[in-house]
């Protein structure tokens, strides 16, 4: 079943176009990574999906209906981000109220996570540090067990150990209770083992949407004598390139090579290496093929 469907969705804030005919569909019971640079339109997409804002021009469906002001979408989804504010209740009170609102709320899981991360039930949400607030919000997101669970930069402020705990907890709970999970994050390298697919947004448009396993084989890197590297990558789609000294070059190209061709290139003395999904996304969303080096060339 398709849980989220965007068809030519645009959104303007004044004269600024945050989304430009974005088109994609997300199927149920998958973990999808929403990736893109700052200002790409990720948060706008998540707010439209969650029904908090309305697209300027759109065909948006969540659970087969328009999400804006939808009781169905509100009851079956949760958006966890750093803007969550609950000033009038202490942490214990927030867990109690969440249990009243979310039909599939797991109070036992919430309490175990609450104790594991050493929260004080009498503390207020607004007095938490950035990292602790993100951790508490994560507890709400996991324990809600919403059919559509959306995390927007969920690990903001968390230290490395807590980030690892979050990803581990999310995976274990997802395997036990499958649902549709959207993860927007700058830390693709940390969460790629969780993901089943990646949705890459660039300049408000859908730039790429594919299974994570396909993205792992999307590009390949060549390093060696500049003349040989250029010859081996001619007529290819170049994602990134830089020089190493007077006669060495490093080029990342889209991987359209056969295994036989790669073996032949290796025999010529060039180094060939894989390119991580995180690196691919950086290269695909860069404004230049040389990165910051182009500023100094």
pLDDT in tens, 6-53: 999 999 998 889 999 999 999 999 999 999 998 889 999 999 999 999
Nearest alpha-carbon partner for 76 in 1, 166, 27, 145? 145
What is the length of the chain?
Answer: 297
Token pair in block for residue 212:
């994570």
Maximum Cα–Cα distance for the chain, whole Å? 68
For residues 245 and 295, which has the higher predicted lDDT (pLDDT)? 245
Hey, do 2-215 and 219-274 end up sharing a CATH topology, with the first three levels equal? no
Token pair in block for residue 30:
């998958």
- The CATH code of domain 2-215 reads 3.40.50.300
What's the pLDDT band for 140 if we cut at 50, 70, 90? very high
Task: Give residue limits of the domains in the chain.
Answer: 2-215, 219-274
Q: Which residues pair with 264 in a beta bridge?
A: none
Record: fold of 219-274 = Alpha-Beta Plaits (3.30.70)
pTM given for the model: 0.91
Share of the chain above pLDDT 70, in %: 97
For residues 294 and 226, which has the higher predicted lDDT (pLDDT)? 226
The confidence score (pLDDT) of residue 122 equals: 94
- pLDDT of residue 253 exceeding 70, the answer is yes
CB 202 within 8 A of CB 40: yes
User: Residue 51, class by beta-carbon neighbours within 10 Å (0-12 exposed, 13-18 middle, 19+ buried)?
Assistant: buried
Q: What is the pLDDT of residues 44-87, one digit of tens each?
A: 999 999 999 998 877 899 999 999 989 999 999 999 998 888 77
Share of the chain above pLDDT 90, in %: 78
CA distances from 212 to 91, 198, 272, 281 (A): 37, 6, 21, 12
The confidence score (pLDDT) of residue 291 equals: 67
Q: What is the pLDDT of residues 158-181, one digit of tens each?
A: 999 999 999 999 999 999 999 999
Tell me the helices (H) and strands (E) count for the chain, helix number first.
12, 13
Nearest alpha-carbon partner for 176 in 206, 143, 201? 143
Nearest alpha-carbon partner for 8 in 19, 18, 22? 22
């Amino acid at each position: 079943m398709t849980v989220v469907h965007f068809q030519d969705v645009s959104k303007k804030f004044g004269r600024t176009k945050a989304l430009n005919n974005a088109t994609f569909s997300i199927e149920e019971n998958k973990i999808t990574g929403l990736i893109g640079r700052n200002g790409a339109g990720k948060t706008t997409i998540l707010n439209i999906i969650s029904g908090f804002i309305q697209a300027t021009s759109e065909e948006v469906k969540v659970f087969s209906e328009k999400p804006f002001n939808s009781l169905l979408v509100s009851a079956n989804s949760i958006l966890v981000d750093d803007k969550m504010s609950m000033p009038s209740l202490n942490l214990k009170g927030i867990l109690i109220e969440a249990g009243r609102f979310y039909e599939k709320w797991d109070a036992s899981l919430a309490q175990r996570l609450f104790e594991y991360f050493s929260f004080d039930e009498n503390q207020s949400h607004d007095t938490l540090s950035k990292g602790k607030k993100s951790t508490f919000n994560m507890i709400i997101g996991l324990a809600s067990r919403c059919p559509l669970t959306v995390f927007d930069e969920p690990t903001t402020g968390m230290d490395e150990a807590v980030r690892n705990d979050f990803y581990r907890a999310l995976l274990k709970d997802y395997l036990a209770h499958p649902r549709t999970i959207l993860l927007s994050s700058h830390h693709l390298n940390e969460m790629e083992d969780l993901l089943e697919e990646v949705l890459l947004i660039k300049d408000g448009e859908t730039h790429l949407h594919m299974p994570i396993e396909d993205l792992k084989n999307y590009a390949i890197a060549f390093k060696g004598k500049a003349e040989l590297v250029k010859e081996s990558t001619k007529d290819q789609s170049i994602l990134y390139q830089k020089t190493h000294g007077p006669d060495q070059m490093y080029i990342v190209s889209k991987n359209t090579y056969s295994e036989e061709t790669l073996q032949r290139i290796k025999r010529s003395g060039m180094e060939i290496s894989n390119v991580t999904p995180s690196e691919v996304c950086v290269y695909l969303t860069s404004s230049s093929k040389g990165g910051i080096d182009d500023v100094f060339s």
